[in-house]
Structure 1
Amino acid sequence: MNNGVIMQYYHWYISNDGTLWDKLDKTANDLANAGFTALWLPPAYKGSGGASDVGYAVYDLFDLGEFNQKNTVRTKYGTREQYLKAIKTAQDAGIQIYADVVFNHKDGGDEIERIFAQEMDWNDRNRPVSDWYEIAAYTKFNFSGREDKYSSMKWYWWCFDSLSYNADTKRADKLYRLKDKHFETEVSQEHGNYDYLMANDLDTGNDLVRGELMYWGRWFVDTTGVNGFRIDAVKHIRSTFFRDWLNHLRVHFGGREIFSVGEYWSQDTDALHGYIASSDGRLSLFDVPLHFKFHQASRQGSSFDLRSIFDRTLVKEQPALAVTFVENHDTQPCQSLESPVEPWFKPLAYALILLRREGYPCVFYADYYGAQYQDKGRDNTLYSHSFLIDKFLKARREYGFGDQHDYFDHPNTIGWTRLGNGAHPGAMAVVLTNSAPGNKWMNVFRPNQEFYDATGHINNIIHTNNDGWGNFPCPGGSISVWLQK
């Protein structure tokens, strides 16, 4: 999508009062007017934690808040009816919807099965550390509250290859590989083999499992009309699976393109390139290395060399398949991958993803609306940056076109220009610094023109010279976005 922008429309600690879908229904037009063109919504199906489950402890993929399961009908975000209504409202406003897909595991089994398993070394998953013995596992899923509606498949132990919870010991501190099963290949080679992540790990090599997931994809798109997917934990699932799954959906829907972005959590850019190659480039990936650059830059302050901000990032090396982001639900404080970007740097980071040509940017809900929550004995506040993000979105929509010229020639002050095109003839010059107030001589190829700072940080007008050059300033530790009047 030309100059498209995604919003991740939730954070981990969003209220579990079942109102998120209704909120989206009411705010979709405002989000479209602000410049958002797509929304990534949280997992909409029933999790093992019922009404408080964020959605990643997947119980029943077919229960979108319709059946009384796990002591609730609705999910954390609302009911199926509210979900479908919100999607329709957003799409009518011109916003695409990307649904969150979690195929790595299932949790909250209904019954125990006694199965043979072997303990494996957590740090070297290819090394057994016990003989085979019998354990008790919650691997039988009946979905009795749904009563075979939409799907009659029940899940048994042979649908999985590994797990960590033994009901006999009531502990989840051992990694068990199930009898006659093997860890999947085509996954991250961290810990020898990173197939297992959590709960009951799906065996996507099993024909019935694959068939059910293919069927669910068709059913889900037919039911909801979503435009694409955010796919969870792809480094733990064989890479060819999602290649085949997405191809299957595209054939089913008459060749219609279905945008998908995978979460491959690694700072190693080569690992991201490897996954893209092995999945035949069927899905984009989040630019995790860039997120960590933002995290480091925000912590190091003026000692961070801004000239290196894009070095070894996906958006620099494979921009067409890079989804750029500053923060997400896993990186926010108190979460499993906590690596927050400090508040002072977030405007700079958002400018670096929203005002440049490369990448498909994603804005985090809590960075736009703000958030307050408590966890692990800590009070946390994420500040709203909507004031500047809205200005960046407007500049992207009106000035984010044409050639881009970079001026990354100073460790603390960098800038770039966008030169516009026939339909959008205005020029833009962006300058930012992580230290003292700075300025950057840049050529916008607009002789004797006036430029104003759209952020409002600087009130002066900048005039370009006879050759189109201007000296564009910005405040210390901040950013200015200069737009042609």
Structure 2
Amino acid sequence: MNGVMIQYFHWYHPGDLWNEFADRVILLKDLGFTAAWMPPAPKGDLGTEGRGYDPYDLYDLGEFDQKGGVPTRYGTREEYLNAIEKAHEAGISVYADIVLNHRMGGDENEWITVHEVDENNRNNIISEPFDVSANTRFTFPARKGKYSDFIWDYRCFSGIDTAWKNRKKITGIFKIHNEYGTEWTDDVSHQLGNYDYLMGADVEYRNPHVIQEMKNWIRWYSETTQVDGFRLDALKHFSSDFLKEWITYIKTEVDPGCYILGEFWKDDAEKIGIFSDKMDELISCFDAPLHYNFFRASEEGSDYDLRRILTGSLLEKRPLYSVSFVENHDTQQLQALESTVKDWFKPLAYAIILLSEEAYPCVFYPDLFGAEYTDIKDGEEINIVMPKVEILPALLKARHQFAYGEQIRYFDHPNCIAWVRKGDEDHSVCVTIISNSEEGSKEIEIGKEYAYAVFKDFLGYRNDEVTADGNGKAVFRVNARSVSVWVRSDA
């Protein structure tokens, strides 16, 4: 089917997204999208100013008057459910973004005991235990127990970054003392010594009541929304033992066909592979190493060796469990993981993820629709314009029509590479060629069945035609710093 996903949001999307998406589902279907990754739907601490990564009440999808109003940044519960229904009517699956690591915006303070740890080595304790007042009790008074009467308190959390001592606000990383110990859980990333803590009130997944509540919630969410899968945020930062148990529960007792996609952000495919093994390959992961290859290639220009563009990527190492992307809401300009692929290289990068065998590509919203936004950096207001990747609709069409069959790579030149998709009973051969320097060419033997066949550039960057010889061999060309997709002129 050549499935392709769209990340239907970016960090600075202005809002009212559920209605916008519902209005565009037919367009997305016509472009060939088969799935949409949507932003977090639950109510966050920042209300309509938040992006969903500040979770307050996971049961509030824009239904209750909490945190400044009823809707979230993206709309109301009714609009969210309608958007999902419209997607399903168009044959598009919906993947919901889920934030499991932390909570923000508690309703009441509690007196708790904590100790402080070194921000750069969380195993290094830098204070004696002391008592503080902390915002760790979540009662959701506006919801009044609807859907769940579970109350979150300090026993449900392992750490915080803000508290009050002697009536003064203090900040840092503070390990909460409760019956689950005074140490961080060990089955997390060991970056910074122990990366259990990320932000907010860090959820304690050694608490069996928390585990059961999260199972109850995901069943409710799945049945309520009818989503087809989940994108899980920040997997480096919480218990992989819990995660495996929770995903197994989803796939055995909630929805066996549920697609699970995780953000385990590492630039090393081997480390992502170790995590995947621990999850018994129940989960797919974003190919961050491939993104960084694209980023470096766009920065280095002709100095980058295109023969290595897939080296160290999940697409190379574990293609069946990888999701390829060019960039996302974290890597866009002014965001925490800023590593924006330069505009000139984006058509080349999208050609790689859309036309390569075994790739499951994810297209970023601004690359299809464009975006403009303003934010503050180092005290200065900066305006960012993200233009559309104009050739992207044609590349999506090429994927749908031609990206089939066995792949043969011609990764034999540092500045010009190509690959052939040989097609199948219903689809013709396709040759993709890219250059990061001057005009390039490749002599490619397509096969005797294509003797004297005439080829054209499906993308229209080149106006010449290529005719294969009697043995099905031809020389295909590409413009400087460009991409061409050669298909039969009668295809």
Structure 1 residues 5-404: aligned runs within 5 Å: 5-16=4-15, 19-168=16-165, 169-179=168-178, 180-253=181-254, 256-376=256-376, 377-385=381-389, 387-404=390-407
The residue type equivalent to 1:172 in the other structure is T
Q: Which shows bigger deviation, 462-471 or 68-77?
A: 462-471
User: 1-side partners of 2:401 and 2:429: how far apart?
Assistant: 10
Structure 1 residues 440-479: aligned runs within 5 Å: 440-445=442-447, 446-479=450-483
User: 2-side partners of 1:124 and 1:194: how far apart?
Assistant: 9
User: 2-side partners of 1:251 and 1:273: how far apart?
Assistant: 23
User: 1-side partners of 2:252 and 2:29: how far apart?
Assistant: 30
CA-to-aligned-CA distance 1:139-189 (integer Å, 9 cap, x gap)? 011111111110100100110011111134434334434343431222111
1:422 match: 425
The residue type equivalent to 1:473 in the other structure is R
1:438 match: 440
Q: Which shows bigger deviation, 131-140 or 177-186?
A: 177-186
3-state SS of the aligned residue for 1:164? strand
CA-to-aligned-CA distance 1:345-367 (integer Å, 9 cap, x gap)? 11111011001112211000011
The residue type equivalent to 2:42 in the other structure is Y
- Does the aligned pair in 1 maintain the 2:154–2:176 contact within 8 Å? no
3-state SS of the aligned residue for 2:424? coil
User: 1-side partners of 2:294 and 2:403: how far apart?
Assistant: 22
3-state SS of the aligned residue for 1:261? strand
CA-to-aligned-CA distance 1:422-456 (integer Å, 9 cap, x gap)? 122x1100000111111111222222111111111
5+ residue gaps in structure 1?
Answer: none
TM-score normalized with structure 1 length: 0.97
- Does the aligned pair in 1 maintain the 2:231–2:263 contact within 8 Å? yes
User: 2-side partners of 1:332 and 1:347: how far apart?
Assistant: 17
CA-to-aligned-CA distance 1:293-340 (integer Å, 9 cap, x gap)? 111111111100000011111110000000000010000001111110
1:408 counterpart (404, 411, 421): 411
- Does the aligned pair in 2 maintain the 1:13–1:373 contact within 8 Å? yes
User: 2-side partners of 1:442 and 1:239: how far apart?
Assistant: 47
User: 1-side partners of 2:160 and 2:185: how far apart?
Assistant: 13
User: 2-side partners of 1:367 and 1:178: how far apart?
Assistant: 46
- Does the aligned pair in 1 maintain the 2:315–2:359 contact within 8 Å? yes
The residue type equivalent to 2:484 in the other structure is S
3-state SS of the aligned residue for 1:166? strand
User: 2-side partners of 1:14 and 1:443: how far apart?
Assistant: 46
The residue type equivalent to 1:189 in the other structure is H
CA-to-aligned-CA distance 1:73-110 (integer Å, 9 cap, x gap)? 00000000000001000111010000001000000111
TM-score normalized with structure 2 length: 0.96
3-state SS of the aligned residue for 1:378? strand
User: 1-side partners of 2:120 and 2:8: how far apart?
Assistant: 35
- Does the aligned pair in 1 maintain the 2:112–2:176 contact within 8 Å? no
Once the 2 structures are TM-superposed, how far is the Cα of residue 191 of structure 1 from its aligned partner?
A: 1.1
Q: Which shows bigger deviation, 438-447 or 178-187?
A: 178-187
5+ residue gaps in structure 2?
Answer: none
User: 2-side partners of 1:346 and 1:178: how far apart?
Assistant: 48
User: 2-side partners of 1:83 and 1:234: how far apart?
Assistant: 25
Once the 2 structures are TM-superposed, how far is the Cα of residue 205 of structure 1 from its aligned partner?
A: 1.3
- Does the aligned pair in 1 maintain the 2:157–2:176 contact within 8 Å? no
What is the number of residues matched between the two proteins?
A: 479
3-state SS of the aligned residue for 1:127? strand
Give the share of equivalent positions with the same residue, in percent. 41
User: 2-side partners of 1:47 and 1:134: how far apart?
Assistant: 28
User: 2-side partners of 1:181 and 1:77: how far apart?
Assistant: 38
User: 2-side partners of 1:181 and 1:68: how far apart?
Assistant: 36
1:481 match: 485
User: 2-side partners of 1:417 and 1:191: how far apart?
Assistant: 44
User: 2-side partners of 1:64 and 1:167: how far apart?
Assistant: 31
The residue type equivalent to 1:276 in the other structure is S
User: 2-side partners of 1:59 and 1:467: how far apart?
Assistant: 65
User: 2-side partners of 1:421 and 1:84: how far apart?
Assistant: 39
Once the 2 structures are TM-superposed, how far is the Cα of residue 250 of structure 1 from its aligned partner?
A: 2.1
